[in-house]
Structure 1
Amino acid sequence: MKQLIETIVKPLVDYPGDVRVEMDEHDNRIIYNLSVNPDDMGKVIGKQGRVAKAIRTIVYSAAGSHHGKKVYIAIID
């Protein structure tokens, strides 16, 4: 899942080397923390959050029922 997020986000940004995805796993959920260069934040979020919503939709669909855990993506400043 981490690789999927990187594959989606890196072509969108000007600084692909600064893209970081960290997984934080809890009892009933998995949170992927996405960090990008501050100059690229607007590109990842998009107008009215449309790009971020599209990224989340793809990842949620790919995750399905990931061992009974809910998958979330957090975009970190």
Structure 2
Amino acid sequence: MKRLIETIVKPLVDHPERVRVETEEQDGRLVCRLSVHPDDMGKVIGKQGRVAGAIRTIVNSASAAGRKRVRVDIMD
């Protein structure tokens, strides 16, 4: 999932070298914490959270094959 999130996010931002994804197992689900450069935060979240929602939808669809729930948190 880490590589999938990086592949989606890096083309969206101005500072792709600052994209970090940390993963952790929590309560039977995989938690992915995404952090980006502060200037890129708006690009990752999008208007009314639409980009963030789309990222979460794609990741959840990809995780359905593995039958494990994934949560994507965008850290500030």
TM bracket (short chain) = over 0.9
Q: How many residues are aligned here?
A: 76
Please show how residues 27-38 of structure 1 align to structure 2 within 5 Å. Answer: 27-38=27-38
CA distance in 2, matches of 1:4, 1:10: 10
Q: Whole-Å Cα distance in 2 between the matches of residues 70 and 61 of structure 1?
A: 10
Report what 1:13 is aligned to.
13
> Deviation above 2 Å: which 4+ runs of structure 1?
none
State the AA in 1 paired with 2:12: L
Structure 2 gaps, min length 5: none
1:1-77 mapped onto 2 (5 Å cutoff) = 1-64=1-64, 66-67=66-67, 69-77=68-76
What one-letter code is carried by the residue in structure 2 that aligns with 1:60? Answer: N
Q: Residue 66 of structure 2: SS of its match in structure 1?
A: coil
Secondary structure, aligned partner of 1:73: strand
In the alignment, structure 1 segments of 5+ residues that lack a partner are none
Query: Structure 1 length as normaliser, TM-score?
Result: 0.93
SS of equivalent residue, structure 1 residue 32: strand
